[in-house]
Amino acid sequence: MESDTIYMIDLLELEHDALKALLATWGEPSYRAEQVWGWLYIRLAAAPEEMSNLPKKLRTRLESETRIGGLKTLARQASQDGETVKWLFQLLPAPDGGPLEDTETGAQTETKIEIETVLMRYRERRTACISSQAGCAMGCTFCATGQMGLQRDLSAGEIVAQVLFVARELARQEERLTNVVLMGMGEPLANYDATLAAINRLTDPDGFNMGQRRITLSTVGLVPGIGRLSREGLQINLAVSLHAATDALRDTLVPLNRRYPLDQLMAVCSEYFERTGRRVTFEWALIDGVNDSLEQARALAEKVRGRLACHVNLIPLNPTASYPGAPASPEQVAAFGAELSRHGISNTVRVRRGIDIQAGCGQLRERMEHNN
């Protein structure tokens, strides 16, 4: 058995009231919880020893009985231009020391669970791309994470821990995290409760205090989840991984489309726009000879025109070892975007970050497995 420090209360798993209750059982006054909360989410403390205004006795107890996040860094890679940094984390065992549980079977497992987190620097933004699940069950054919299958959902604390980790890294360089995108490993709406709890924690005005409009949730199109999210009263951005504008093609790229076809998906996206006033972004990975035709561009325009305010984010495919497709050529990307523009559909080509370090979701873990 490893050190007992693995099996501790994870402070990032505690809501504000739960932290108060814990410290109350330790005989601490209520204001101590406010101090600890501030150290976690405002001052970004990575260890209790940094919480300098707490009594030494309390710091010592926190050190021996709690931890701050369940992430262990396995690998770090930075792009040559320094604009993209990617981390591979191992998730530590459950804070209570109990065995892990397989999401699909419910069986107990000791399998090593790994996730990825990416920092992307832009001119005026510092964006953390975080994971919501270890692996993914959606099975999108061209996605490195989808090719892995699902290991388990992440807890709210594990989602939050990624954001705080990146924020600390930036703070050491006198930079500030400005945006969070739930576009890493996993389908956030398939892990709805933990994802929502993490968003609420990150936007807490008495804590990390990130603006809701600085958070983007990306989904492959879980229609019930989008409908539920539209009723939460949030102002976060919704991005839908679309990739095809006809059911026949999308069925082959995104298997979930067979359950929730395009007409259902477009209807719930319209609902999201009507309820929140936030325009929907459609993500489109352009694959050479697959979904980069002008016919697909025209079909997309027909699907969305007059139904909702939207923007199309065009992304040349990030190649993976298990998918034979190649990114569309720059000429075809430009032609696709021009056709959308001709039909009045707002679109941009996403600047691809970290190609030299395979910064696409799941690719670092995939490469390490191939090398071992």
Q: How far apart are the first and last CA of the chain?
A: 24
Q: Which residue has the tokens 């459950």?
A: 94
Is residue 168 a contact partner of residue 69, using CB atoms and an 8 Å limit? no
Is residue 323 a contact partner of residue 329, using CB atoms and an 8 Å limit? no
What is the rounded distance in angstroms from the CA atom of residue 104 to the CA atom of residue 302? 38
Is residue 113 a contact partner of residue 134, using CB atoms and an 8 Å limit? yes
* Vertex 65: Cα angle to 63 and 68 (nearest 5): 65
Is residue 5 a contact partner of residue 67, using CB atoms and an 8 Å limit? yes
At 321, give phi and psi (nearest 5°).
-65, -25
Determine the 3-state secondary structure of 295 from DSSP.
helix
Q: Which residues are catalytic?
A: 116, 361
How many CB atoms lie under 10 A from the CB of residue 289? 11
Is residue 165 a contact partner of residue 171, using CB atoms and an 8 Å limit? no
What is the rounded distance in angstroms from the CA atom of residue 114 to the CA atom of residue 261? 32
Is residue 325 a contact partner of residue 362, using CB atoms and an 8 Å limit? no
What is the rounded distance in angstroms from the CA atom of residue 95 to the CA atom of residue 126? 30
What is the rounded distance in angstroms from the CA atom of residue 171 to the CA atom of residue 179? 14
What is the rounded distance in angstroms from the CA atom of residue 315 to the CA atom of residue 336? 11
Residues in Cβ contact with 119 at an 8 Å cutoff, skipping those fewer than 6 apart:
84, 85, 86, 126, 127, 128, 129, 166, 169, 170
